[in-house]
Amino acid sequence: MDVNGFRQFLQKRQLAESAVAQHIALAERFERFVPTPPTAADARAFISALAAENAATFDNLVALASYGRFVKSDAVYLTVLERVALMSAFR
């Protein structure tokens, strides 16, 4: 992953540096988890792995969605949006 490019992408959205670091850490973890290019099934599997750790938080899902936008992966981005919508529906 182009870490510097992703950092700039996130900074343009005026995220705090702590959020930028968290987004980058999650994106790097996702890239270790899946092959390139990632598919919707890969994103679902990663989200399930996060859920098993009680780590499928809104912030982590936003980080994953941001990564999907950065790498221009509609499959990842839309899969995350679906999960966020499901989370919101059951609140």
Region 73-86 average pLDDT: 94
Extract the tokens encoding 87. 């989370």
CA distance 59 to 13: 15
**Mind giving me the DSSP string for 22-52?**
HHHHHHHHHHHHS-SS--HHHHHHHHHHHHH
Quick one: pLDDT at residue 52? 97
Proportion of the chain above pLDDT 70, given as a percent: 97
Give residue-wise pLDDT tens across range 25-41: 999 999 999 988 999 99
Domain count, the chain: 1
Q: Does the pTM of the predicted model rise above 0.75?
A: yes
CA distance 44 to 37: 14
CATH of the domain at 70: 1.10.150
Give residue-wise pLDDT tens across range 2-27: 999 999 999 999 999 999 999 999 99
Quick one: pLDDT at residue 91? 63
The domain in which residue 80 lies consists of 3-89
